[in-house]
Amino acid sequence: EFLEKGPNYLQPMVLRDVAEAVEMHESTISRVTTGSLMETPQGTLELKAFFSVSLQLNDDNSSQSSAAVKFKIKQIIENEKPQNPISDDEIVETLKTTGINVARRTVAKYRKIQNIPASFMRKRQSTLAGRL
């Protein structure tokens, strides 16, 4: 689904699972995928981009890749009003409406990994940009 629909649909895949499936050591799979590129409908991606941790979403044992959750967080922030950025708590609530149950700390961690500042900093940047 990822290849057809984009990052929102990336399913969890762990090096260990691939290594077991092809009966090789994890480190071998890691070395082979490092620096290797793949042309996809989503653009040229490093093979490492397909490996991500699985996040338990709800009590029904459904899971989603951490990369897909990061993408959703980025989308939520990109769609916010610059004058009124949403907090990590509000992002958690928005994700819950889509069936993704994560802690505020997880949202903050994924936001920082993507170099997205906290809501108060985004508001400050918006205010400063408005003055220029």
Nearest-angstrom CA–CA distance, 120 and 69? 22
pLDDT at 122: 93
User: Looking at domain 54-131, which CATH architecture does it have?
Assistant: Orthogonal Bundle (1.10)
pLDDT digits (tens, 9 = 90+) for 54-95: 666 655 556 677 888 888 999 999 999 988 999 999 999 999
81-103 as b/e, with b when 16 or more CB fall inside 10 Å? eeeebbebeebbebbeeeebebe
Please state the pTM of the whole predicted model: 0.65
Query: Which residues belong to CATH 1.10.10.60 in the chain?
Result: 54-131
pLDDT digits (tens, 9 = 90+) for 23-62: 999 899 888 888 888 888 878 878 877 777 666 665 555 6
Residue-wise DSSP of 60-104: T--EEEHHHHHHHHHHHHHTSBTTBPPPHHHHHHHHHHTT----H
